[in-house]
Amino acid sequence: MRPTLVCALMLIASLAVAPSASAQDARLEAAKKEGKVVWYTSLALPSAEKIAKLFEAAHPGIKVDVHRTGSERVMSRLMQELGAGIKNVDVVHTSDAGHFVVLKGKNLLQKYTPPGVDGFPAGFKDKDGYYYGLRATVNVIAYNTKALSPAEAPKTWKDLLDPRWKGKLVTAHPGYSGVIATHVLALVNQYGWDYWKQLAQNRPMLVQSAVDPSGVVASGERAVAVDGGEYTFYQTKKKGNPLEIVYPKEGVPLVISPSAITSFAPHPNAAKVFTDFTFSREIQQVMADSEGLYTGHPDVKYPTDKPKLSDLKLWSVEPEELEKRIDEIKKRFVEFFGA
Amino acid sequence: MTARVARQWVAGVDRALPVWAAVVLALVLLMALPLGWLVWMSVGGAAGATLGHYAQVARDPALLAALWNTVVLSFWVGLASLAVGAPLAWLTARTDLPGKSVIRSLVLASFVTPPFLGAFAWVMLAGPNAGLLNVLWRSTTGATDPLLDIFTMSGLVFVVTMYTFPYVYIMITNTLLLIASDLEEAAAILGAGRLAVARTVTLPMVAPALASGFILAVLQALALFGSPAILALPAGFHTITTQIWALFQYPPKVEMAAAISMPLLLATALLLLVQKRLLGRRGYAAIGGKGGQRGQIPLGPWRWPALLGCLAVMACAIFLPYGILAKAALSRAWAQPLSWSNLTLGNFAFTFFEYSATRAAIVNTLELGLATATIGAALVAMLSYVTNRRLVLGHQLVAFLALAPIVIPGVVLAVALFIAYTRPPFLLYGTLAILFVAYLTKEMPVGYAQSEATFRAIPPELEDAGRILGAGRLRILWDVTAPLARSGIIAAWCFIFIGVIRELSASIILFSPATRVMSVVIFDLKEEGQFGAIAVLGIVMLALTFATVLLVQKALGRDVLGVREGEPPPRPRRADADANQNGVGS
């Protein structure tokens, strides 16, 4: 089937579930007049571009400006721009839920509930209705199957502290990635800062994005990734790379990545159309299918070659706690790891 | 007598006023305002001026470590660049080494290669486990330890040196070509051995050039951002530039960034002062311009080993990195062998058609490159004509101010501009204008030095002849000077253009998502580990650079390094050396 046809069908489907068709029509017209939507996102680049292309195909006349970087950089840019009086962004999406606590507190978010999120689990919903979890992933361990046999591979988070992994590990950075910031806090809550202090003794290679450990392990530059978004490992593995994922039994940190419309959105209608689109069952399904993400949507079916969220023991982090401790997380991580 | 002086003085003031006004305005906007804000920010506290930020820097072991790492890096890069650049310069300038012009072209290629691309390529070559050279080493020797680990201080020194030694090479080559060999021959006739000649005659004459080349290399390493970010951060250490950049992350600590910028600024200024002293002291009584004969020293049996040595350097600077970039651009997984199943054009498709930032970034880069180069070339042409022909009072001061931005490393300039232009009355952050201002400031010394050298080479007698025949100054400028200066100005244009399209260290702090340029996109992609797309964009950047270099060659009739085959440059090319020192620095 041609992609445009698929998208047209999806558009029709999404309109069908919408509360009021005529209101939607008026909004769509207004959105087309606005012509584009500016999306600051921390979703891995190829995935973000894919969703943007699907949206553009389904909504001719509305362009998506994708600005992808790590969660912490998204926030950094956003605040820098606001400081300089620049109001550029319509939809903001990061993996650091604490950002949304900050933004809401500063009245920088618009209250908006996309249709269909009622059925989402509680962790995906802001109680005041300002932001909703667009997608979720968990942090896992991954290893290169050419370097290690399944028997040799680490099984638990604490296995990684063994000195035999010295020089063989890679970690992403909480100063860049919200997925990792969440992960660091989850493990601090379980094991204390001592865990990270000891892990630093094994001198892991430091990369920035939670996407990057998958590439480092796949290339064989390091044998084991001590963290990273499960969906990027899953995609890398599906591409035929020698990589296997370990889901530690004691628990895996759950990262729910919220999405919200800014209060100053220069393209408010396009922002709403785009938000509705990304929360539609179809796009949530695309994220589950080809990107390997988890979502809050109750009707989404997941690939059979990976565990369901309900099969995993999940460690959650409260957005408020993440917001309070993010500076501490960045500071101590740099203190232990050097950069 | 006094009347004549007074008349001249009045005439001078008349002509000077508009020029002065323009220059002062430009320099206030480009230099004084940002630097003023930088200093103010570094001492500004809630309750008035304070040294608290400096004290905080001095107490923070992480910041001190970053400072120390920069010192170590710069020092070793300086020494290593001397060790590589000086012998290469001597071999290509003075001996009968085979393939000299090829070696020279390759040094030029290394000179214009953006260092961060080189660093990125070396990650793929010498990453301790997946790096291709290490894989090869393990499979041939059966060793378990890597041959090279690029994620170390020595790895960083090595990679930076590969793209910094051309500065030393240029200094030494130009000096060697200016020194007539008759003194050396005289010493030889008087019975000195070859080594004794080198030690007692050649070396003292090139010593100032050696010291000054060392300082240029140190300055380059000091200001570099991309290579440390790519090689030092994964290894868990900062240099001062990456540290300043890290201080800009949310929540930004701009005061700390300003405070830690100061030592970098002062060190640069100090080193340049020393270099100026060194160069200023050399009398060059022995330099005979075109007069002296320059014999070629026969290398004898050492010809081929020497050539091999040169090629080995070039393999590290050019062949291997370019090769691995091409491979990464064409393969699905860069670490796997280039088999049919691994071969793909998908990286090109992704970069140009799927990744929406690419085209905007290329357009931004080209727009900025063209605008900065054009306006910059016009500005420096005007400035250097005015200073060279001494058309205004205080022309020395104008010349000094035009060259002054050289002391500001890109990251520091960016911090200063960021502080100055994110507040009224100038809200430039988020627009291309702030990048334009940064690039113009950063490239002005390069362009100025180049076009100053051009006007120096055009004798004023021709213009005087025109005046005698009754033409006005503008008419002469158009009919006499402009045609003669054209190629030199085109070269200045190209130098600025090359500098702009590769600029990273200022851009990385000043960009906003809507104003990304190619170097920033490459850096973004690096942070996400998108090797294929980086390689593709890197190749585009190199292609643009080399096209511009060809344009310079054509305009000047000589290569960019200031060397014409078999002939010394027309005049002492100190200006070129000055120009080159800020030419890179990404």
Does an H or E element contain B256, and which? helix B254-281
Contact A338 B238 (CB under 8 A): yes
Tell how many helices (H) and how many strands (E) occur in chain A.
12, 12
- Mean pLDDT for chain A overall: 93
Q: Could you tell me the CA-to-CA distances from B221 to A191, B471, B556, B560 in Å, in that order?
A: 41, 50, 29, 21
Question: What part of A 189-218 touches B (C-beta under 8 Å)?
Answer: 203, 205-209, 211-212, 214-216, 218
Q: What is the pLDDT of residues B468-515, one digit of tens each?
A: 998 887 788 888 888 888 888 998 999 999 999 999 999 999 998 889
Whether A84 and B250 lie within 8 Å, measured CB to CB: no
Q: Is B85 on the interface with A (CB under 8 A)?
A: no
Of B290, B314, B334, the residue at which a domain comes to its end is B334
Assigned token pair, B4:
């004549």
| Predicted local distance difference test score (pLDDT) of residue B206 | 86
Number of domains in chain B: 2
With CB atoms and an 8 Å threshold, state whether B530 touches A218. Answer: no
Q: Is A180 on the interface with B (CB under 8 A)?
A: no
- Do B294 and B432 lie in a common domain? no
Complete domains list, chain A, with CATH:
3-134+256-307 (3.40.190.10), 138-253+311-337 (3.40.190.10)
CA distance B271 to chain A (A): 28
Give me the pLDDT at residue B557, please: 75
Domain-embedded: residue B1: no
Say if residue B294 is in the same domain as residue B350: no
- Cβ atoms of A246 and A224 closer than 8 Å: no
Distance CA B382, CA B378 (A): 6
Q: Is residue B194 included in any domain, yes or no?
A: yes
Q: What is the mean pLDDT of chain B?
A: 86
Is residue B383 domain-resident?
Answer: yes
CA distance A95 to B53: 32
**Is residue B115 situated within a structural domain?**
yes
Q: What Å distances lie between residue B571 and B288, B449, B576, CA to CA?
A: 10, 14, 11
Confidence of residue B373 (pLDDT cuts 50, 70, 90): very high
How far apart, in whole angstroms, are the C-alpha atoms of residue B544 and residue B52? 46
- Alpha-carbon Rg for chain A, nearest whole angstrom, is 20
Backbone φ and ψ for A167, nearest 5 degrees, come out as: 75, 0
* pLDDT tens figures, A25-73: 899 999 999 999 999 999 999 999 999 999 999 999 999 999 999 999 9
The pLDDT value given to residue A234: 97
Verify that B410 and B555 share a domain, yes or no: yes
Decide if A84 and B429 are in contact by the 8 Å CB cutoff.
yes
Question: Has residue B521 got a pLDDT over 60?
Answer: yes
Q: Between chains, do A80 and B130 touch, taking CB under 8 Å as contact?
A: no
The pLDDT confidence band at residue B8, using thresholds 50, 70 and 90, is low
Give a yes or no: residue B410 inside a domain.
yes
Residue B511 lies in a domain: yes
B402 and B528 in a single domain? The answer is: yes
Mean pLDDT score, A68-79? 94
pLDDT (tens digit per residue) in B257-283: 999 999 999 999 999 888 888 876 544
CB spacing of B529 vs A84 below 8 angstroms: no
Cα–Cα distance, A219 to A224 (Å, whole number) = 11
B464 touches chain A (CB under 8 A): no
d(CA A43, CA A70): 8
Per residue in A276-306, pLDDT tens?
Answer: 999 999 999 999 998 999 999 999 999 999 9
pLDDT of the residue at B564: 44
Assembly ipTM = 0.89
What single string gives the DSSP state of each residue in A22-35?
HHHHHHHHHHHHH-
Query: pLDDT value at position B578?
Result: 42
Say if residue B447 is in the same domain as residue B314: no
Q: Is B410 found in the same domain as B307? A: no
Q: Are residues B92 and B141 in the same domain?
A: yes
Q: Is the same domain home to B80 and B136?
A: yes
Out of B334, B367, B388, pick the residue that ends a domain: B334
Q: Which of B324, B528, B534, B537 is the best mutation test for A, with the most CBs of A within 10 A?
A: B528
Helix (H, G, I), strand (E, B) or coil at A255: strand
Q: How many CB pairs under 8 A join A and B?
A: 132
What is the enclosing helix (H) or strand (E) of A170? strand A169-171
Q: Which of B274, B308, B334 is the last residue of a domain?
A: B334
**What span, in angstroms and rounded, lies between the C-alpha atoms of B33 and B19?**
20
Nearest to A220 among B248, B252, B335 (CB): B335
Q: CB of A219 within 8 Å of any CB in chain B?
A: yes
Q: What is the percentage of chain B residues whose pLDDT exceeds 70?
A: 89
Does a structural domain hold residue B22? Answer: no
The pLDDT value given to residue B553: 83
Contacts of A102-108 with CB under 8 Å at 24 or more apart are A102/A75, A102/A323, A103/A260, A103/A262, A104/A128, A104/A130, A104/A131, A104/A260, A107/A263, A108/A82, A108/A262, A108/A263, A108/A264
**B81 — pLDDT class (breaks 50, 70, 90):** very high
pLDDT value of position A176? 95
CATH code, domain with B422: 1.10.3720.10
Residue A79 confidence (pLDDT) above 60: yes
pLDDT digits (tens, 9 = 90+) for A247-284: 999 999 999 999 999 999 999 999 999 999 999 999 99
Residue B364 lies in a domain: yes
Question: Which B residues, 376 through 435, put their C-beta within 8 Å of a C-beta on chain A?
Answer: 422-423, 427, 429-430
Same domain, B362 and B413: yes
Beta-carbon separation of B356 and A70 below 8 A: no
- Residues in contact with A279: Cβ distance below 8 Å, sequence separation at least 6, in sequence order: A114, A115, A116, A117, A132, A134, A259, A297
Check whether residue B426 and residue B566 sit in a common domain.
yes
Suggest the residue from B250, B350, B364 to mutate for an interface test with chain A (most A CBs closer than 10 A).
B250
- Alpha-carbon distance of A327 to A208, in angstroms, equals 17
Residues of B in contact with A76 (CB under 8 A): 248-250, 252
Q: Which residue of B has its CA nearest to A209?
A: B528
Q: Supply the range of the domain harboring residue B568.
A: 346-586
Residues B322 and B404 in one domain: no
* Residue A264 CA, distance from chain mean position: 23
Tens digits of residue pLDDT in B305-345: 999 999 999 999 999 999 999 999 999 888 888 888 889 99
Instruction: Compare CB distances from A40 to B233, B236, B513 and report the shortest one's residue.
Output: B513
Q: Which of A72, A75, A338 sits opposite B236 (nearest CB)?
A: A338
* Tens of pLDDT, residues B403-429: 888 889 999 999 999 999 888 778 888
∠ CA B33-B35-B39 to the nearest 5 degrees? 120
Q: How far apart are CA A297 and CA B469, in angstroms?
A: 87
Judge if B326 and B357 occupy the same domain: no
Using CB atoms and an 8 Å cut-off, which of residues 172-211 of chain B contact chain A? none
What percent of chain A lies above the pLDDT cut of 70? 94
Q: How do beta strands B48-49 and B44-45 pair? A: antiparallel
